[in-house]
């Protein structure tokens, strides 16, 4: 069961806006009067911090939380993700490690792309300002007796899991600088020390406190594509790609050009080598070296080189087919060996 109090004390909040709620009775520990935080007075606001387009009506806030935090597709197939991903919630590279691995950090507002990677890029969702606000957690992310709490637990689990992932992504001053550079954190309203004091509270949460998606860390897009094709979840818009594979025909053609050219080059070389081998007269190949002319010796050399090339190309084709298949079988065997056992929270 999720804890009902905010995960961090008010003193560690990074957004100090006070919410001017419609209800007359403020939550315990909250105030609708102007507060002092930092250098100046804070005037209560009537919208969700960081997004003036979203008011403070509970239904409106709940709809926005679902939009920016929910990952229904990954939650649906979470008990099968072990087939294509490492089952470890701490399998998350810090931002500086992603740069070392030559991955471009791409900010996206799509929650289903958060912590996915492929083609030299890792996709990360920026931290919403309202998740840094104490009153938001007090009013909208824990159960209260005065409202419908059907979606509160799901929203809180997603929010805790999301911020827990950032406790691993932004774990050093260098990560903090990279996060600011990639627009993953709000504008310069707090420094590294304030961030470290805030985010450390989310490292203590176990997998039983987070959304099902966050039982896993980074996910490779190419493997998620195969997960959709194999398991065909109801939440998926298409069973071919987890995220749109190509945005234009030109991109698809460009992607397919290199493999096609490679196959054409192998076929052309193989046919040319076979043609040379067949063109050399077989009855003059193995005559005594002392009784053959230089032209015959050259023909023999060309024939040997052609046969060697045919064998080498055939071996290359076999390796191209068998090596990926062998790797797939090895990963399948590893996944089956590491699959969730009965009784673990992963198997739920």
Q: What tokens does 44 get?
A: 């209560």
- CA dist., res. 212 & res. 337, Å (int): 21
Residue 45 backbone dihedrals phi, psi, to 5 degrees: -115, 160
**231-274 per-position pLDDT tens digit:** 888 877 777 888 766 556 666 677 767 778 878 888 888 788 77
Does the pLDDT of residue 38 top 70, yes or no?
A: no
Does the pLDDT of residue 30 top 90, yes or no?
A: no
pLDDT value of position 161: 96
Does the pLDDT of residue 73 top 80, yes or no?
A: yes
Does the pLDDT of residue 16 top 70, yes or no?
A: yes
Nearest-5° Cα angle at 112, 45 to 191 = 50
- CA dist., res. 94 & res. 179, Å (int): 10
DSSP string, 255-297: HHHHHHHHHHHHHHHHHHHHHHHHHS-GGGSSS-GGG--HHHH
**285-328 per-position pLDDT tens digit:** 665 555 556 677 777 777 788 888 888 888 888 888 888 778 77
- CA dist., res. 108 & res. 122, Å (int): 10
Does the pLDDT of residue 91 top 80, yes or no?
A: yes
107-111, 123-127, 304-308: which has the minimum mean pLDDT?
304-308
Nearest alpha-carbon partner for 103 in 85, 84, 122, 89: 122
Does the pLDDT of residue 219 top 60, yes or no?
A: yes
Comparing 274 with 133, the larger pLDDT belongs to 133
**43-53 per-position pLDDT tens digit:** 789 999 999 99
Burial class (CB in 10 A: 0-12, 13-18, 19+), 344: exposed
- CA dist., res. 50 & res. 69, Å (int): 15
Query: To the nearest whole number, what is the mean pLDDT of the chain?
Result: 82
Nearest-5° Cα angle at 77, 75 to 81 = 110
- CA dist., res. 206 & res. 130, Å (int): 23
Residue written as token pair 């926005």? 64
**136-168 per-position pLDDT tens digit:** 999 999 766 555 566 888 999 999 999 999 999
DSSP string, 73-106: HHHHTGGGGGGTS---TT----HHHHHHTTPEEE
Does the pLDDT of residue 12 top 80, yes or no?
A: yes
- Write the Ramachandran bin of 315: left for phi over 0, alpha for psi from -120 to 50, otherwise beta: alpha
pTM of the model: 0.74
- CA dist., res. 309 & res. 266, Å (int): 10
């Amino acid at each position: 069961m999720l804890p009902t109090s905010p995960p961090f004390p008010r003193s560690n909040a990074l957004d100090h806006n006070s919410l001017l709620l419609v209800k007359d009775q403020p939550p315990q520990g909250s105030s609708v009067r102007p507060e002092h935080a930092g250098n100046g007075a804070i005037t209560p606001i009537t919208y969700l911090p960081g997004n003036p387009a979203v008011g403070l009506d509970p239904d409106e806030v709940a709809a926005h939380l679902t939009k920016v935090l929910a990952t229904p597709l990954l939650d649906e197939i979470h008990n099968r993700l072990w087939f294509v991903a490492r089952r470890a919630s701490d399998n998350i590279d810090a931002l500086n490690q992603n740069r070392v691995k030559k991955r471009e950090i791409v900010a996206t507002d799509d929650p289903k792309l958060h912590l996915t990677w492929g083609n030299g890029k890792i996709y990360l969702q920026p931290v919403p300002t309202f998740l840094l606000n104490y009153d938001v957690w007090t009013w909208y992310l824990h159960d209260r007796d005065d409202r419908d709490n059907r979606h509160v637990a799901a929203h809180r689990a997603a929010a805790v899991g999301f911020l827990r992932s950032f406790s691993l992504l932004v774990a050093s001053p260098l990560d903090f600088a990279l996060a600011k550079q990639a627009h993953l954190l709000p504008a310069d309203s707090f420094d590294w020390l304030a961030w470290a004091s805030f985010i450390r509270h989310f490292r203590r949460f176990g997998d039983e406190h987070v959304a099902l998606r966050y039982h896993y860390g980074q996910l490779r897009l190419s493997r998620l594509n195969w997960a959709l094709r194999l398991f065909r979840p109801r939440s998926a818009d298409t069973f071919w790609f987890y995220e749109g594979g190509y945005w234009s025909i030109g991109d698809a053609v460009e992607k397919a050009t290199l493999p096609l050219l490679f196959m054409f080059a192998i076929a052309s070389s193989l046919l040319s080598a076979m043609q040379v081998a067949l063109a050399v007269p077989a009855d003059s190949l193995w005559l005594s070296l002392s009784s053959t002319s230089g032209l015959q010796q050259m023909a023999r050399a060309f024939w040997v080189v052609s046969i060697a090339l045919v064998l080498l190309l055939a071996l290359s084709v076999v390796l191209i087919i068998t090596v990926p298949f062998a790797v797939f079988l090895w990963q399948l065997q590893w996944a089956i060996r590491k699959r969730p056992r009965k009784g673990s929270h992963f198997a739920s």
